[in-house]
């Protein structure tokens, strides 16, 4: 497959056999010209790689597995050793090592091919990861150790309070690649964790493939939306202070509001009146949401510190009579801490995360349209198969006097918490949403988001909202709205 690449062993020989052209001679043995030879060889190699990548992908699919294994053999006899006589026993040993390598890699290639039959994304990624694990590829990320809540709670009740971490599961590693290939199915069949593999959403064939490879339920959980969003199983290779998706980043060119707020007000602010021409039903809505990990594995644990920023805007782009103004823009910076945990929940669920944070929410307007509030919250993350749930409970943090508050009754409408959920559907579709409710006032809101693939790089997005607080200027205005647009294809989180 990579026969066209010039290796480092081949460079001296290639340069030595090069002939002068047009009176110019290239002597690679001279130190002053050696870098030039390497640069030329590298340029030719990159050109060959680009041409090879542009070829039809069927070239790879049509390559038989034994031939692919032959090209990946990991033992090569140097030219200097090939010219020297070797004892018969040494030659036999080299041939045996070659045969073992071919057989092992051929088996790995077949396992990779079987993994492609698994349709569930998280299970398929876990299958690939388990097969590749046998190659002992070095990793630059740290595996997380979640807190075992059941054992921690039990030790506290017994009078010996301590934080108990889940023991790291051992991976299958042996000195001989042939031994790994031979023992993998037996170990997978005898592992108790494999027998408890959750087969919900899997066909009988897919479950058999996962069990033969040795995939456990904990392996699948490494690729769930919760785990990938908050690095619950291992630290991301992106490290700290790199931009990552947070809430969905989307663009809704068509966003229709059935009952626009023509008189935004609050108990402490005067009413600002608008006409139906000032605020039209149809507008453009977009949201930008990013987060970055500030610090990882803090407090000698697997906890991570994050900073997030979300900005949501309503743009009256179709209102040409009033210079297409921005009707509302919400700003929400926040900082929060996440701690991986593990605990069993009813109906086969698992608690995966606990966290705490603080958030500021405002619209940056002057009176009488100014709205703002600050909250401190606790949150958790749980999973039931394809369903992921993140509940939050918050308390308002008041830093203003009651006379200067922009919206003293905002909790009556926004409540004391919310629940976010995400459900994976077939064919890379997903259904997510946010629910809020205040039982004392019987007010709240529900937002449902549906994502479906349009092309390889673009996902369609449909948003439906009903209730109070679609934006902070409308925190006490009940409304129903629907929007159609696109969302970034790499968003898969909360």
In this prediction, residue 234 has a pLDDT band, given cuts at 50, 70 and 90, of confident
Q: How long a stretch of residues is the chain?
A: 494
Which among 33, 212, 301, 360 is annotated as catalytic?
Answer: 360
**φ/ψ (deg, to 5) at 106:** -60, -40
Is 80 designated active site?
Answer: no
Predicted pLDDT at 54: 43
Mean pLDDT on 376-397: 96
Residue identified by tokens 């707020």 is: 261
Query: Which range, of 194-203, 419-428, 445-454, averages the lowest pLDDT?
Result: 194-203
Predicted pLDDT at 183: 42
In this prediction, residue 142 has a pLDDT band, given cuts at 50, 70 and 90, of low
Predicted pLDDT at 445: 98
Kindly report, residue by residue over 279-288, the tens digit of the pLDDT: 999 999 999 9
Predicted pLDDT at 345: 95
Burial tier of 471 (Cβ tally within 10 Å: 0-12, 13-18, 19+): buried
Is 190 designated active site?
Answer: no
Q: What percent of the chain has pLDDT over 90?
A: 46
Predicted pLDDT at 114: 75
In this prediction, residue 404 has a pLDDT band, given cuts at 50, 70 and 90, of confident
pLDDT at 99 over 70: no
pLDDT at 189 over 50: no
Q: Is the dihedral of CA 362, 366, 371, 373 positive or negative?
A: positive
Domains of the chain: 10-115 (no CATH), 138-221 (no CATH), 231-487 (2.40.230.10)
Mean pLDDT on 269-274: 92
Cβ-contact 148, 241 below 8 angstroms: no
C-alpha to C-alpha distance for 425 and 120, rounded to whole angstroms: 9
pLDDT at 487 over 70: yes
C-alpha to C-alpha distance for 99 and 178, rounded to whole angstroms: 10
Q: What is the pTM of this model?
A: 0.67
pLDDT at 342 over 50: yes
Predicted pLDDT at 153: 79
Query: Residue-wise over 436-457: b if at least 16 C-beta within 10 A, else e?
Result: bbbeeeebbbebbbebeeeeee
Query: Which range, of 131-140, 196-205, 231-240, 309-318, averages the lowest pLDDT?
Result: 131-140
Give the Å distances, CA to CA, from 190 to 114, 130, 172, 174, 227: 21, 16, 13, 17, 27
Predicted pLDDT at 473: 96
Kindly report, residue by residue over 431-473, the tens digit of the pLDDT: 999 999 999 999 999 999 999 999 877 899 999 999 999 999 9
Cβ-contact 403, 384 below 8 angstroms: no
Residue 250: other Cβ atoms inside 10 A: 22
Query: Which range, of 267-276, 374-383, 394-403, 441-450, averages the lowest pLDDT?
Result: 394-403
pLDDT at 333 over 60: yes
**Higher pLDDT among residues 195 and 295, named by residue:** 295
Mean pLDDT on 263-290: 94
pLDDT at 202 over 60: yes
Predicted pLDDT at 4: 41
Mean pLDDT on 180-186: 41
C-alpha to C-alpha distance for 339 and 342, rounded to whole angstroms: 10
Mean pLDDT on 284-305: 94
Averaging pLDDT over each range in 84-93, 213-222, 357-366, which range is the top one? 357-366
Structure tokens at 133: 């694990």
Q: What is the mean pLDDT of the chain?
A: 76
Give the Å distances, CA to CA, from 299 to 180, 255, 368: 38, 45, 44
Strand extents, DSSP E, 246-302: 250-257, 282-298
Which among 155, 178, 301, 362 is annotated as catalytic?
Answer: 362
Kindly report, residue by residue over 15-54, the tens digit of the pLDDT: 444 444 444 444 444 444 444 444 445 444 444 444 444 4
Query: Residue-wise over 17-55: b if at least 16 C-beta within 10 A, else e?
Result: eeeeeeeeeeebeeeeeeeebeebbeeeeeeeeeeeeee
Cβ-contact 168, 145 below 8 angstroms: yes
User: Kind and range of the H or E element at 47?
Assistant: helix 31-53
Query: Which range, of 99-103, 285-289, 345-349, averages the lowest pLDDT?
Result: 99-103
């Amino acid at each position: 497959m990579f026969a066209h690449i010039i290796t480092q062993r081949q460079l001296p020989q290639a340069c030595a056999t090069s002939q002068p052209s047009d009176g110019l001679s290239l002597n690679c043995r001279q130190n002053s010209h050696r870098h030039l030879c390497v640069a030329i060889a590298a340029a030719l190699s990159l050109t060959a790689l680009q041409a090879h990548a542009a070829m039809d992908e069927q070239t790879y699919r049509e390559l038989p597995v034994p031939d692919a294994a032959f090209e990946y053999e990991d033992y090569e006899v140097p030219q200097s050793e090939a010219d020297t006589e070797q004892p018969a026993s040494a030659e036999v040993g080299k041939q045996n090592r070659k045969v073992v390598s071919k057989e092992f890699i051929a088996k790995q290639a077949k396992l990779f091919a079987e993994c492609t039959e698994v349709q569930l994304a998280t299970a398929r990624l876990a299958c690939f990861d388990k097969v590749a694990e046998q190659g002992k590829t070095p990793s630059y990320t740290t595996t997380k150790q979640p807190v075992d809540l059941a054992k921690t709670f039990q030790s506290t009740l017994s009078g010996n309070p301590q934080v108990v971490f889940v023991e790291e599961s051992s991976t299958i590693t042996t000195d001989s690649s042939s031994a790994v290939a031979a023992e993998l199915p037996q170990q997978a069949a005898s592992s108790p964790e494999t027998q408890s593999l959750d087969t919900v959403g899997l066909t009988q064939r897919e479950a058999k493939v996962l069990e033969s490879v040795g995939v456990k339920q904990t392996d699948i959980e490494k690729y769930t939306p919760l785990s990938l969003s908050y690095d619950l199983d291992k630290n991301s290779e992106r490290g700290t202070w790199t931009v990552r998706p947070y809430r969905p980043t989307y663009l809704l060119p068509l966003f229709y509001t059935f009952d626009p707020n023509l008189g935004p007000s609050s108990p402490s602010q005067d009413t600002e009146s608008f006409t139906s021409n000032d605020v039209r039903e149809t507008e453009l809505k977009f949201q930008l949401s990013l987060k970055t990990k500030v610090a990882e594995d803090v407090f000698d644990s697997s906890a991570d510190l994050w900073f997030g920023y979300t900005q949501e805007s309503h743009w009256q782009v179709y209102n040409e009579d009033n210079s297409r103004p921005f009707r509302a823009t919400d700003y929400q910076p926040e900082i929060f801490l996440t701690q991986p945990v593990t605990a069993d929940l009813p109906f086969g669920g698992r608690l995966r995360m606990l966290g705490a944070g603080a958030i500021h929410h405002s619209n940056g307007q002057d009176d009488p349209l100014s709205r703002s509030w600050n909250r401190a919250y606790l949150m958790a993350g749980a999973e039931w198969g394809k369903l992921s749930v993140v509940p939050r409970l918050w308390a308002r943090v008041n830093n203003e006097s009651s006379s200067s508050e922009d919206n003293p009754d905002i909790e009556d409408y926004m409540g004391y918490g919310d629940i976010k959920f995400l459900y994976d559907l077939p064919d890379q579709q997903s259904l997510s949403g946010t629910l809020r409710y205040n039982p004392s006032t019987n007010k709240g809101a529900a937002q449902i988001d549906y994502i479906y693939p349009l092309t390889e790089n673009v996902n369609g997005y449909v948003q439906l909202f009903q209730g109070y607080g679609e934006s902070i200027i409308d925190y006490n205005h009940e409304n129903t709205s629907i929007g159609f647009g696109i969302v970034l294809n790499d968003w898969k989180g909360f």
